[in-house]
Amino acid sequence: MNHQRFPSHEVKEPHSVSLKVLRLSRPSLVPQFPLHPPVIPPSLTSPIAGTSPAALPQRHLPPLPASLAYSPLGPIKKHGEDAHEAEGAGGERTRDGYYNTEPFILSPIVNLPPSFGSAYVGETFSCTLCANHNAPPIGEGGTSVKKTIRDVKIEAEMQTPSGQTTKLVLGDTAGDDNAGSGSSTANAGNDNAITGSNAIGSEDSNNTTEAKTETETVATLDLLPPSTTLQKILNFGLKEEGTHVLGVTVSYYEATETSGRTRAFRKMYQFICKPSLIVRTKAGPLPSLPPVKAGNGKRRRRWVLEAQLENCSEDAILLEKAQLAEVQRGLKWRDCNWAGIGVGVGQRESTTTGEGISQQSQDQSQGPSRRPFLQPGESEQLCFIIEEMGGGEGDGDGGEQEEEREAVEVEEKNGRIDFGVMALAWRTEMGNRGSLLTLKLGTKHVKPR
Amino acid sequence: MDQESSSSQHPKGHQRTRSAVKATRPRSSTKGPLDVGDTPLASHLLPPQTQQTDQQTSSSHAEQQHQMMIPGGHGHQARAPVSGSPLLPRSPAAHSPAPPHSRRQPPPLSLSPAGPSPRMSFSPGPGSGAASGRGAPRPPPDFSHLLRPDIYHELAPLNVPPPFRQSAKQPSASTPIPDLLARGHFRAAAVAAAQALTGANGAPAPDPADHALILSLFYVRLACLTLIDATALATQEVKALEDLNATFYVDETGHNLIPWELRILAVRLQAISFADQRRAVMSYYDLAREARLRLAEAAAKHDNSEKQLWRERLNDLGVRVAGVLVEMDDLKGAVEHLTSLKESDNGSGKMQMARALLWLHLGDVGAARGCVKPAEGSEGPSDNMTERILHALCDMADGKYSEALNQWEELSKVSDNEMIGVNRGVCLLYVGRLQEGKDLLEGLVDSGRTSHTLLFNLTTMYELCTERSRTLKVQLTEKVAALEPTSFGWEKTNADFKL
């Protein structure tokens, strides 16, 4: 059947609602270049130049206010008070000091993100969607009929490089939410693991409360008055490399005095997600340990797991955490890196892998940070030691587990022992978080007992 | 190959290059650092009996007295040679690899014809010339090279929005420079400074020997250029100063006569123009060395105010070095450097805040929180403010924008500081309250604040909240142009409004 689409002149009429988006990466501290004020010889007060007098007395003066990132001046006072009065505050600490860190280059005032920047795997992509009712100004051409916009709906979905499309939860707050992908079930398994490994530092508490109150993937607003905005924020954890497409659909009901119609439009935004850390690992055997008492009587095998992390992004990365997770039962591992001296135990639940790690890795304010700071292109070598528990021993890490240590045999599949995965977490400028889990790491070199 | 083929229209195969067109390297002198410092100019202008030249330029312990002829100056009045600078002579020998301090090219100085040949002891570097100044006073150095019009660029108001250009608040051409600076008319001040230096506005140019006035005007010019975002022009114009450590700039007390603020700015501008920030670090360290010497001299004279001055300048330099390291992206180096600086005694918490901001920039929020801890016997609310500001920033860095917003709101009840207001507005955007954030930032503009950051954030919000952001931005330019000029600045550029 020849189905002819009825051409409607309405399609050409511009929408009354527009959509604007801004990626909400971290705001950045604004740099400043403070300048000392000029010492002006008295002869300069008239343009006629003359020979200057002897050397003027010098004082170390506070910098020119205009060379700072923000003004030390107070607000304009009403009723004739001179704004210049407040200038005396520059450089002196008054009750309303300006808390500027001059002459240091970084100031405490922040800028919104000037551009999209780069998107990296492991980060949370935060973005604000703004549906605006653009009322045409009175007197302009076109219809001067007053329009009422009702029932505005915004929906957003993210298509990942693997082709999967996820409906996104539209909340009210930007935040780090690597698991906040909304109603897609396919990601749920991974989410748990990631949430677990992110639990250290408890930074997501703010976000989880938000997630509970807004679980809808469709944001609606009953009435959108002219020159107002419906603003929503989405957070999406980037897990895959490649081209992502964010599709946003806005629909609204446009009512005039005489009629009304529902209109909708869709906008697509495409961006590329790049890898930020490349992990290369190698496992090798170590001499085995003698068997434990009350164990299974066998010698305990040991391995060393070496890893090289390379920063392949364009930003500098501060490594916060590099640990093993989901370690197989029957194995325990030791962190030989900057976090020092922790012993982790392979347990049944992957989410509790965080326990047993020494306190040092969690205490972040312990003197100057020894965490590795990787410039773009730099690498860091890591090392972990993994050993069999051999069953029945009391663990050196406090032994808070009440369960019995039966003789747990380490599983071997086709001559390969799986250790677990590596959980990495890092920060970039202004605390921007990233995290990732590697694939299962293991070894094929099973040394004979 | 055949020579005939080269003249054909189809040059094919090899062609023999005729020697005449071979590129030749200009003949360079074989003189090295230990040799005589004679400039081509000098040999021109010196009368024959004074041709004997200095023999000891290389030594850095130059306390000997020499019957020294200052070349290039005999009977020759003020104007510097058009072709070049008075400091570096044309001969390539000047660019020998010797370090600058060990060899000095005495510049052509203006001599009074009747004067005896003055003696000059060489001060090889800043701060070491304390023993100099013997004998007849040295004639003042000639700064006419800074009075040439061709080193100053035109500053047309091309990128200034119309409400500013047409405003009644534009200063008149005869406003004195200090008034221009006090009211934030930096572009006008830059133009006025260049005019005062070149004598273009009717008033006579300064006396070339009046270095205090000339250098002060020059500094006003460069500083104002950087303040109106014309730093690129400033990096070109600063080249007229050449090497700020040359003996040309050393006065009879042995100290460098360039104003301190100009030396600081020149370090930054020269580092930009050479695209080498390490130069800035080295230059700041040189200045620090000099500051220490001056501090020691002041201590010997028991001059407390001068001691204080040099101490403050030294602290200032330390922090600036950290800033350069940040610009070079050597954040770890900057952290270590800043940690090594002694906290100044007034306990304002500024250094703690600076260290914390650096940690935030690096990404280590935990270390940033650890930087500002309440001091034992603290000074009360002011330190607390620093701590509270910092915790709010750390919350933003942790992604906890709601909590940060609460803290900024509490802080704004105590202080109507622009930074607190702007940060609060930014947080409002991050928690889905764009309208409120926009209204807040507009309120800040209404109260007279006009920093680049405030305008940038506000125009970004305009772009988010409407299709017709240009209209809003133009309205903003009108609003800002209607504000009273203050020392913080008044005139803006199109870039400030994202136009």
Residue range B216-237, pLDDT digits in tens: 999 999 999 999 999 999 999 9
Nearest to A24 by CA among B432, B360, B418: B432
pLDDT for res B89? 41
Instruction: Among A13-17, B120-124, B332-336, B388-392, name the one with the lowest average pLDDT.
Output: B120-124
Instruction: Reply yes or no on whether the pLDDT at A50 is more than 50.
Output: no
Average pLDDT of the residues in A232-257? 93
Pairing of strands A124-133, A17-23: antiparallel
Q: Identify the H or E element spanning A300.
A: strand A300-311
Verify whether the Cβ–Cβ distance A96 to B416 is below 8 Å.
yes
* CB contact A360 to B (< 8 Å): no
Q: Which of A136-140, A215-219, B80-84 has the highest mean pLDDT?
A: A215-219
Which residue is associated with the tokens 């400074």?
B193
Residue B2 has pLDDT above 70, yes or no: no
A342-345 and A331-335 beta bridge pairing: antiparallel
Average pLDDT for residues A34-38, to the nearest whole number?
92
Which pLDDT score is estimated for A329? 86
Distance CA A306, CA B245 (A): 53
Please state which of the ranges A177-191, A218-232, B280-294 shows the lowest mean pLDDT.
A177-191
Q: In the predicted model, is pLDDT for residue A187 greater than 70?
A: no
> Comparing A221 with B458, which gets the higher pLDDT?
B458
Q: Do A35 and B226 count as a contact with CB atoms less than 8 A apart?
A: yes
- Which is it for the CA torsion B37, B41, B44, B46, positive or negative? negative
Q: What is the DSSP letter of A38?
A: P
Kindly tell me if the per-residue pLDDT of A42 is higher than 80: no
Q: A106-111 and A373-374: which strand pairing? A: unpaired
Residue A1 confidence (pLDDT): 54
**Which chain A residues are closer than 8 Å to B177 by Cβ?**
40, 44, 47
Closest residue in chain B to residue A176, using alpha carbons only: B399
CB under 8 Å, gap of 24 or more: what pairs does A264-269 form?
A265/A15, A265/A19, A267/A19, A267/A21, A269/A21, A269/A245
Q: pLDDT by residue (tens digit) across B166-215?
A: 888 898 888 888 889 989 999 999 999 999 888 877 778 888 888 888 99
Helix axes B211-227, B260-273, angle to 10 degrees: 50
The residue ranking higher by pLDDT, A129 or A298, is A129
Chain A residues close to B389, C-beta within 8 Å: 99, 108
Q: What is the pLDDT of residue B52?
A: 41
**Would you say residue A343 has pLDDT above 90?**
no
- Please tell me the predicted confidence (pLDDT) of residue B208: 84
Q: Give me A307's structure tokens.
A: 């890893």
A73 touches chain B (CB under 8 A): yes
Angle among Cα A248, A250, A251 to the nearest 5 degrees reads 150
pLDDT in tens, B3-49: 444 444 455 556 565 555 555 566 666 666 565 544 444 444 444 44
Is a pLDDT exceeding 60 seen at residue B113?
no
Position B65 pLDDT exceeds 50 = no
Residue in B320, B426, B451 closest to A69 by CB: B451
Q: Is residue B357 over pLDDT 60?
A: yes
Mean pLDDT over residues A28-57, rounded? 69
Q: How far is CA B419 from CA A30, A108, B87, B447, in A?
A: 11, 7, 46, 13
Q: Which among A295-299, B26-30, B78-82 has the top mean pLDDT?
A: A295-299
| Residue B211 contacts residue A53 (beta carbons within 8 Å) | no
Indicate whether A214 pLDDT > 60.
no
Cβ of A24 under 8 Å from any chain B Cβ? yes
Q: Is B253 on the interface with A (CB under 8 A)?
A: no
Instruction: Kindly list the residues from chain B whose CB atom is less than 8 angstroms away from the CB atom of residue A373.
Output: 331-332, 362
**In this predicted structure, what is the pLDDT of residue A189?**
33
Q: Which candidate from B204, B403, B419 shows the least CB-CB separation from A206? A: B403
Where residue A434 falls among pLDDT bands split at 50, 70, 90?
Answer: very high
Given a cut of 50, whether residue A212 has pLDDT beyond it is no
Is B382 touching A (CB cutoff 8 A)? Answer: yes
CA atoms of A35 and B224, how far apart (whole Å): 10
Q: What is the pLDDT of residue A115?
A: 93
Quick check: A44 and B213 CB within 8 A?
Answer: yes
**Mean pLDDT of all residues belonging to chain B:** 77
d(CA A345, CA A339): 16
More confident site: A253 or A194:
A253
C-beta atoms surrounding A226 within 10 Å = 15
* Lowest-confidence pick of A276-285, B339-348, B412-421: B339-348
Check pLDDT > 90 for residue B267: yes
Q: What is the pLDDT of residue B28?
A: 61
Residues of B within 8 A of A64 (CB-CB) are 223, 227, 487
CB-CB: which of A49, A76, A371 is closest to B204? Answer: A49
Give the helix/strand (H/E) hosting A212: helix A205-213
User: pLDDT category, A78, cuts 50, 70, 90?
Assistant: low
Q: What is the pLDDT of residue A365?
A: 36
The mean pLDDT value for B393-412 works out to 94
When CB atoms are compared, the residue of B346, B402, B416 closest to A74 is: B416
Chain-chain contact of A60 with B339 (C-beta, under 8 angstroms): no
Least Cα separation, residue A417 to chain B (angstroms) = 36
Size of chain B in residues: 499
Considering B85-94, B339-348, B412-421, the range whose residues carry the highest mean pLDDT is B412-421
Cis amide bond preceding B108, omega within 30: no
Nearest to B332 among A47, A83, A373 (CB): A373
Q: Which of residues 297-356 of A touch B (CB under 8 A)?
A: 316-318
Residue of A nearest to B174 (CA): A47
Examine the pLDDT at B59 and tell me if it is beyond 80: no
Report the distance separating Cα A245 and Cα A159, nearest Å.
5
* pLDDT over 90 at A257, yes or no: no
Q: Is the pLDDT of residue A186 over 80?
A: no
- Predicted pLDDT of residue B411: 92
Higher pLDDT, residue A18 or A349: A18
* Three-state SS annotation for chain B: CCCHHHHCCCCCCCCCCCHHHCCCCCCCCCCCCCCCCCCHHHHHHCCHHHCCCCCCCCCCCCCCCCCCCCCCCCCCCCCCCCCCCCCCCCCHHHHCCCCHHHCCCCCCCCCCCCCCCCCCCCCCCCCCCCCCCCCCCCCCCCCHHHCCHHHCCCCCCCCCCHHHHCCCCCCCCCCCHHHHHHCCCHHHHHHHHHHHHHCCCCCCCCCCCCHHHHHHHHHHHHHHHHHCCCHHHHHHHHHHHCCCCCHHHECCCCCECCCHHHHHHHHHHHHHHCCCHHHHHHHHHHHHHHHHHHHHHHHHHCCHHHHHHHHHHHHHHHHHHHHHHHHCCCHHHHHHHHHHCCCCCCCCCHHHHHHHHHHHHHCCHHHHHHHCCCCCCCCCHHHHHHHHHHHHHHHHHCCCHHHHHHHHHHHHHHCCCHHHHHHHHHHHHHCCCHHHHHHHHHHHHHCCCCCHHHHHHHHHHHHHHCCCHHHHHHHHHHHHHCCCCCCCCCCCCHHHHCC
Q: Does B341 touch chain A (CB under 8 A)?
A: no
- Highest-confidence range of A195-199, B113-117, B368-372, by mean pLDDT? B368-372
Q: Do A103 and B402 touch (CB under 8 A)?
A: no
The token pair at B313 is 């300048």
Given a cut of 60, is residue B110 above it in pLDDT? no
- How much is the mean pLDDT over chain A? 75
Q: What is the mean pLDDT of residues B386-394?
A: 93
pLDDT at res. A305: 93
Of B174, B219, B400, the CB nearest to A206: B400
